[in-house]
Structure 1
Amino acid sequence: MIEIDLDQLLLDRGMSLTQLAEVVGMTMANLSILKTGKAKAIRFSTLCKLCEALHCQPGDLLKYQPS
């Protein structure tokens, strides 16, 4: 299973989920789906926006958890 780990990056950057939503142009609902692990997929364009806003690499956001 692939997880998206926003919590630590947001904490490290001193950024709230609300601030991230504004920067990347996403709704809080969609970011919450990613944050809580309920997302089934993520678009590369969304991943790019998140990486740009958080100044990180995709590997900083995505984690593999064996089932």
Structure 2
Amino acid sequence: MSIVVKLDVMLSQRKARSKDLAAYVGITEANLSLLKQGKVKGVRFDTLMKICEFLDCQPGDLLVNEREDGVQG
């Protein structure tokens, strides 16, 4: 199983820009890009909270547990 980051989907749905999100959260655009690509080993709860505040969503809207066969579980 793996955790899939759906940040790009939520940004698109909210018609928000990565640059604005990064500024709001207080992280670099490069770090936000790594997060969007799922290339980070972890994310701080306060960072996740700020992302959810900006996008008006829940953590479960951004992070999905997906099985190897592509089924969400």
- Please give the TM-score of this superposition, normalised by the length of structure 1: 0.92
Query: In the alignment, is residue 37 of structure 1 matched against residue 26 of structure 2?
Result: no
Q: Residue deviations 1:14-63, cap 9 Å, x none?
A: 11111111111110111011101101111111110110110000100111
Structure of greater relative contact order (alpha carbons < 8 Å, 6+ residues apart) = 1
Query: What runs of 5+ residues in structure 2 fail to find an aligned partner?
Result: 69-73
Of the two, which has the highest radius of gyration? 2
Counting aligned pairs with the same residue, the percent is: 51
Instruction: Point out the structure with the larger helix share.
Output: 1
Divergent runs of 4+, >3 A: none
Query: What runs of 5+ residues in structure 1 fail to find an aligned partner?
Result: none
C-alpha RMSD over aligned residues: 0.9
1:10-29 map, 5 Å: 10-29=11-30
- Please give the TM-score of this superposition, normalised by the length of structure 2: 0.85
Q: CA deviation at 1:9?
A: 0.7
